[in-house]
Amino acid sequence: MKIVVVGGTGLIGSQVSALLREGGDEVVQAAPSTGVDTRTGEGLAAALKGADVVVDVSNSPSFDTEPALDFFTRSARNLFAAEKEAGVRHHVALSIVGVDEVPGYGYYEAKVAQENAVRGSGVPYSIVRAAQFFEFVAPVMNMSTEGTEVRLPSTRLRPIASADVAAAVAEAAQNEPSNGIHNIAGPEVHGLDRLGEITLAVKPDGRTVVTDETAGLFAGMPDVLTGDDSAHLATTRYEEWLKRD
């Protein structure tokens, strides 16, 4: 098949692209750096010509509500118009576990709007909702650092390695559209503060974790970020991943 990976040069997209090529598919890595901009529509028609499947793992450059909402809705509008013109028969979108159960968090609301656009597009689809990536823990810790203290809430997560996310997205792209949602997560549930402690135990840098329920992006989040009983659980454990990274 010819598969266009939107956001194909990023953390997930580059891994998805490699897996699909290994499986024998023709892959186009679509991103602003390769001349394809979903927000403006630039390069979309040429990239999607003859495409069987589109995988969208692109992300907003901002987590703020209005820019994220603008990015996802504008991109979806341009992308689905181009997909219909090209005769694309399967759209795969990457989203977030529990995304529709976190009211008042603007970025998640923008992702819900993206999911709604996927469902209403008329293009057969599959939505893969993933838990937070292992790779996201260190940046969250850095954003929450004050001096030598890393202030993190005990919000429960079931994080997953990006490689496991990429494998699930690639598998979805190679299968028939589900016209539904597939949840994926890691094998273990940890509080975000505990994830910080594990990180600093494996890679000590002089900082210590302080549990602060008011600190950072995940403060006050409802207990919905671990996935439900339907979630497929990957096998890679966070501590093992840290030690080999």
Of 197, 170, 186, nearest to 92 by C-alpha is 170
CB 87 within 8 A of CB 122: no
For the chain, what's the residue count?
245
Q: What is the pLDDT of residue 205?
A: 95
Which residues, in sequence order, are bridge partners of residue 184?
130, 232
Q: What pLDDT shows up at residue 131?
A: 96
Q: pLDDT (tens digit, 9 = 90+) per residue, 24-75?
A: 999 999 999 999 999 999 999 999 999 999 999 999 988 889 999 999 999 9
**pLDDT score, position 223:** 87
Ranges of residues in the chain with a pLDDT under 70 are none
Paired with 28 in beta bridges are: 4
The pTM of the whole model exceeds 0.75? yes
Q: Structure tokens of 38?
A: 């979903």
**pLDDT for 221:** 87
What crossing angle do the helices spanning 162-174 and 11-22 adopt, rounded to 10°?
Answer: 50
pLDDT at 104: 83
Q: Identify the H or E element spanning 231.
A: none
Give the whole-angstrom CA distance, residue 183 versus residue 181. 6
Task: Give whole-number Cα distances, 42 to 7, 31, 48, 117, 214, in Å.
Answer: 14, 10, 12, 20, 41
pLDDT value of residue 110: 95
Token look-up 């999911």 returns 115
